[in-house]
Structure formats: C-alpha cells, structure tokens
Amino acid sequence: MTMIKRLVLGSAASVFAMGGVQAADLPVKAKAVEYVRVCSLYGAGFFYIPGTDTCIKLGGYLRVDTTFNGGIYDQPAWSGDLGQGNRYRNYFATRSRLALTVDTRTATEYGVVRTFAQGDFNFDTLGNTTQNPNALATNLGNNPNLLSTQGGGYLSVENVFIQFAGFTFGKSASAYSTPWQGYPGNNSSFLLGGQDSVTGVNNIQYTMQFGNGVSGTIGLEDPTVQDRTAIFNLSTGLNAVGVTGNAYAGVRAPDIVGNIRVDQAWGLFQLSGALHNVDASYNTLTATTAAPVVNSVLSGHPTDKWGGSVMAALQIKNLPTGAGDDFKIDASYAVGDTKNVIATSGPSPSFAMFGGTNRAGAFQSIGFGATTDAVYLPIAAGGTGDLKLTTAYGVRGAFNHNWDPYWSTSLFGSASFVRYGGQANNITTAMGQFCAAYVKANAGAKSADFTCNPNFDVYQIGAVTRWTPVKNLTFSAEVMYTMLKQNFTGTSVLAPTAPAADAVYQYKNQDTVSFNVRAQRNF
C-alpha cells in the first residue's frame, strides 16, 4: 500500500511540474478581444471601425422598378421609338438595382471629417425603351442600357465626396439644388420644371452656417455633363423634329452656383442662383452631326456668352391634413442654362411625339420640342453669327399625405416652358434663324396655314400611392400624364427617322400616360 501511495504522489508531482513548465511558455496576459462599439454621435447605424476613432455606416437599398408605356423610372414616351409608337418600342421596361452606401465620420478639432460614396449594381431591360437592332448595335461598350445581357449588368457611381470644415469636395448634390432635388413627391426621375443633380456633379463648395437655421453655400461645378443641354449650329440643318448635332465646345469655365437657405420647424425656404458659360465650337461643321471637318478651325466661332438661372423653393411642414404631411414647390427661370429647367436624373430630353390626326390628307400628327442652351447661324450662312441664348422657365411641386403609418399618397405636377426669342420672319432673331434652317432642311410641300414656331411647353401631373407593411419595405404605384404643347401649325411633308414614313404630317399637341410600380427595401 505504501508503494502504491508513493507511485500516485510521484505521478501527480510530475504532472504539476510539467504543467508549470508549459504555463511558463504562455503569455503573461491574453490580448483583450476588441468588440465592435456602437457610435451614437451621428445617429443610428454607425459603429467605430475597430482600432480607430472613425465611425462608419453601411447602408443602401434594393429596388425593383417597372414602367409601362415608358422607360425606366417612369420616363414618359416622349421621344425615340416610344415617341413614334412603332414596333421597336418596348411596352414596358424594368430595372433591378442594389445600391450600397458607405458613410464615414471622424471628429477633429476642425469639426467632423466625412466621406460618402454610393455605388449601384444595375440590371435593366436591354435597350430600355427600344429593341431597334440599329440602336442596339451602337455604343455597346459605352451605353449602360446595352450591358444588361444574360448574366450581365453594370455598375453606376452616384455621390462620392469628402466634407471638411464646411467644404465639400467631389461628386455631390449641386449647391444650387433643393434637398428634394427633382422628387418633391414622385417616383419618376423625369418630373421636369427645375434642377436635378441627385446623382451628383463634380464640384467644390463651401457652406456657412449663420445660426437660427440660416445657411449659405457657394460652389464651382464641372458643367460638362450636369449643366449643359445643347448648342445648335443652324447651318448644319435641322431634321424633321427640329434637332441637329450638338455644337458645344470644350468646357472653358466652371459654373458658379450658390444658395441662401432657411431651415425651420415650419419648413424650408431657399433662393438659388447659377452662372453658366455658353461656348460653341466652330462655324463650319458637318451636316446633322455637327462634327468637325478639315479647316473647321479656320471658319471661326461665335463669341462666348454667360447665361444663368435662378430658383426659389418652399417647403411647408406640419400641415393640418395629417402628421408628417407636407407641401413642396420650386420655381425656376433660366437664360442659356436650360438644364436647370428641363432636367432629369440623366440627360435633358428633346421631344418628338407622334399621334393620330383627323386632318384630311395627313398620315399622322407630330409634335416636337428642341431643348437647347443656344442656337447660332454663321454670317457665311446668312445669319448674324452670334449665340442666341434660349430662355426657359418652370415650376413643379407636390402635396404629400400620410393616411396612417402604413399608407401614403403624393399628388405632384410640373409645367415647363422653352422659348426662342424673336419672330419667325426676322432672321436676326433666334426664332427667325431656327425657322429658316428648319424650312430649308425640310423642304417638302407645306399647307397654306403652315407656321413655324419652335417654342414649346411640357405639362405633367401624377399621383403615387405607397404601402409600407413593415419598416423600410415599401410597395408603390404611380401614374403620370404628360402633355407636349407645341406651336407649329398646319401640315408638311416630312421624312422623320426610320421606321417612320415619309408622308404628310399635321403639327399638333401630343400627350402620353405612363404607369410605374416599385418595390424597395432600405437597409
């Protein structure tokens, strides 16, 4: 028994000795696990990046969107194959999008340093509004609507910017824009009547806070994409719907923009202004495309002109109609800066719509409107050679009502006006030069009551109803009516873009109705 005890005690001592040797090889103290910490400084969803004092928020949305009798995001059938109503048009168009946002913020002695970026993963109906094989065969590598092939899709980049000490650098909303951009209450990305830079514009801007909700912002913007429509060199001719190639020159100066804004519990009031340089390329360009030719540089060019625009905006909150209800409206006036009136989340449209007619001898009716910043007719072509700036003005707004926590409805509308100054019979004016070029390029027989007037209006009215069964999940349906009021009269033999017929057309106002349904999950 004594022998057994000695063996057991000896074995135990050996085990403890070995354990002591192994313990000596371990770190004195295990490294603490650093858990993710919530950052409550900047609102819900932020957390600290481990090992730093920077807070980050990851978010975004997933959206499925379908439009009937229109393009993606409720674009009306106001141009192209949709405007013609021909067999190549798509009767509906849909988009599936995943948007991802990254928002970082760091507190410093200069204030908060913020970075923000949004990338969108998209898959659309191929061609969006058209299945015309000629259209689908062009710009395949550059047109996102043509990248949505089986297993395909594309990435788009919206806002990407840095904010520091009151400055904003990068691709962000314009200092000219309102907080609601082109969306006072609508789903559609095509409500006209004012500025829209929701996808961002390259700029540098500075915001000063004056206290009591009063602020002012001034900025410099790259106008190349966001702030230009077109310049027409009228010596290149105009097609049947009053359009020719874009004769803008390279960017020569940034747009100078700014606003004064009052934010209060009752709502918001804002005044905005912009200065825009309008610069044409050359006097001699190719017909219809306005591309340069050999010796274009010797032909001279019009002198640059400065245009601009102003906007007044108002939001009224806490309406007696219900909790969370509000009313938004903005009104704009522009000279040589039409993009701040005829604006969408993409390029500004020119309009070409076809319809029925009861005019004897006419094949169809046609209505069109050319969207430009300026036109010019070189002296060598019988004009004055200077830029004639286009005038535009518009208004848009919406009333937004919450029926209960789950259902809401918005009524919205807009009116937009584009004007070419002067008279059709005065060659020294914009209208006179436009009409001379149009009649010359479209020399088919015209009726006795034919008159030329390129001025046009666009009116829109619509409603959207939303159902939110659970937080951050919304289903909505939108209907929108769009009318183009044009000012040509009579009939003319025209040769519009194929597959339209070469025939007699009556000049007439046109309209269209589009319908949109959407499902969206925010996170």
Other residues' Cβ atoms within 10 Å of the Cβ of residue 159 = 17
In this prediction, residue 8 carries a pLDDT of 37
DSSP state of 285: B
Give the H or E element holding residue 449: none
Q: Select from 369, 371, 427 the least CA-distant residue to 235.
A: 427
The vertex-105 CA angle with 104 and 110, nearest 5°, equals 145
In this prediction, residue 236 carries a pLDDT of 97
In this prediction, residue 141 carries a pLDDT of 60
Domain of residue 406: give its range: 186-199+207-523
Q: Is residue 71 in a domain?
A: no
Cα(410)–Cα(180) distance, integer angstroms? 14
Q: Is residue 235 in a domain?
A: yes
Q: Select from 49, 228, 72 the least CA-distant residue to 144.
A: 72
Cα(78)–Cα(90) distance, integer angstroms? 13
In this prediction, residue 29 carries a pLDDT of 58
In this prediction, residue 142 carries a pLDDT of 61
Q: Is residue 180 in a domain?
A: no
Other residues' Cβ atoms within 10 Å of the Cβ of residue 423 = 13
Q: What is the pTM of this model?
A: 0.91
pLDDT in tens, the chain (523 residues): 344 444 434 444 443 344 444 444 545 555 555 678 999 999 999 999 999 999 999 999 999 999 999 999 999 999 999 999 999 999 999 999 999 999 999 999 989 999 999 999 999 998 999 988 777 766 556 667 778 888 889 999 999 999 999 999 999 999 999 999 999 999 999 999 999 999 999 999 999 999 999 999 999 999 999 999 999 999 999 999 999 999 999 999 999 999 999 999 999 999 999 999 999 999 999 999 999 999 999 999 999 999 999 999 999 999 999 999 999 999 999 999 999 999 998 899 999 999 999 999 999 999 999 999 999 999 999 999 999 999 999 999 999 999 999 999 999 999 999 999 999 999 999 999 999 999 999 999 999 999 999 999 999 999 999 999 999 999 999 999 999 999 999 999 999 999 999 999 999 999 999 999 999 999 9
Q: Is residue 237 in a domain?
A: yes
- Residue 474 near residue 483, CB atoms below 8 Å: no
Work out whether strand 364-369 and strand 503-507 pair parallel, antiparallel, or are unpaired: parallel
In this prediction, residue 374 carries a pLDDT of 98
Q: Which residues contact 202 (CB under 8 A, 6 or more apart)?
A: 170, 171, 221, 222
The token duo for 333 is 């006036």
Q: Is residue 430 in a domain?
A: yes
In this prediction, residue 20 carries a pLDDT of 43
* C-alpha distances out from residue 272 to 178, 209, 416, Å: 9, 16, 18
The vertex-369 CA angle with 364 and 371, nearest 5°, equals 155
Q: Is residue 11 in a domain?
A: no
Per DSSP, which regions of 420-522 are E strands?
A: 456-470, 473-486, 491-494, 503-507, 510-522
In this prediction, residue 493 carries a pLDDT of 98
In this prediction, residue 292 carries a pLDDT of 97
In this prediction, residue 150 carries a pLDDT of 87
Q: Is residue 434 in a domain?
A: yes
Tell the residue number behind the tokens 């020159």, with chain if given. 249
483-497 burial string, b = 16+ CB within 10 Å, else e? bbbbbbebbbbbebb
Q: Is residue 178 in a domain?
A: no
In this prediction, residue 87 carries a pLDDT of 96
Q: Select from 95, 21, 90 the least CA-distant residue to 63.
A: 95
Rg (CA), the chain: 30
Q: Is cis: bond before 499, omega within 30 of 0?
A: yes
In this prediction, residue 24 carries a pLDDT of 43
Q: How many domains does the chain have?
A: 1
